[in-house]
Structure 1
Amino acid sequence: MRAAGAAAARGLLDRLPLTGPSGYLAVRNLRRRAAEMSGVLMPLILFTCMASATLTMQAVESDAIRASGVPKSVDAKNLETLNLTVVGVIVVFCFVMLINSLYAATTYRGREFGQQRPVGATPGQVLGVVGAEGLILTVTGVFLGTVAVLAGVLAFSAVRTGSPWPGQGPGIWLAVVAVATAVTLGTVLFTARRTLRTPAVAAVTLVA
């Protein structure tokens, strides 16, 4: 998974129209740190996959039972509650792991940020680089997570409804992607802004 994430990130770097100082540094940093940043992709992929797949398949199942006209049994309701609870715990764990990974990875770069500022990089440019990196990371994680979602959801929907394309999917997927994007970009930008409060001289003296 780490190798796939690194390869996907490098492929996206060649396609995104990133220009200017921020774009150049974002591409350079991600190419240099692709293997390291791929470790952050895992919780993002798991969050996207688990949340989208579980909510979509449960919606398909509920609609299929409702369409059949058969009242939902107590066992079916208990199973639904159990599924949502178990997967909810996993999703929350991935959510927390994502935030912690992003926070740690960004905080670790305090010395790097400090070295950029004495040579002319403004805080806004540093944040622009971090934001571009976060965007690429989000696109890569969401893409890989969506591929995993489709592998399960399409087959499940085809069996339960006769159609591989569930009508409930787009709305749920968009909501999950919005949360993943907000969390990823919000965490990296907040952490970078906080790290930039350290004076440049003090940041440069930090142990790498």
Structure 2
Amino acid sequence: MGVELKIVRELATVCVTASELAAIENLIKGELTKPAFVEQFDKMANSIKECYGVTTASLQIWLAMTTETEFCEKFDAAYTHHKATYLSISNRPRVASERAYLDYMLLREFKETQTAYPLLKLTFARLDEFIDKWITNDAWLAMSIENCVKMLYRFLTEVAELKQKDPTDAFTIYQALMVALRPYCTLLENDRKVPDKSVVTTEAV
């Protein structure tokens, strides 16, 4: 073991970006109501929120196993499925981020983004920095989600190996991480207002 802290840290980082996006969205849409502008803003925001959908979907099936009985009955099949799909899951945030950046560039063509009104000017600068650091150039959001998904796979592999020797100890270690992750997943679900059904089904067994 030893990857638990890294998984929680990456998930916490993802949560911070979701809260930042929600704050920016509330400020901008609270001041600007032109339908065409709002529609384009929503396209950009929803593309970013797909990243959060990937994150929560990759954890849902694991968070649902709350008893040792469920763990013993369901873990092996869930792990086999996850092993076959996690690499394709980890790439999806980058695809969504690339689409979000294109949507952002189209948003920037609206005259509303050039406002001199102090509140909006500061908020658009905040959005610019968010896109630059987390979505496009540095792509920290996609990188954090990829790290989270890949380290989760590493953790689950170690749990699977331990489960063959001592199911009770394996569940204890497993459940400790799930307890730590659950509050962050709840925060992500609260901040993410547009569910991606295609993502949610990815982890179905």
**TM-score, normalised on structure 2?**
0.40
Q: Which one scores higher on RCO, CA 8 angstroms, separation ≥ 6?
A: 2
Larger Rg: 1
**TM-score, normalised on structure 1?**
0.39
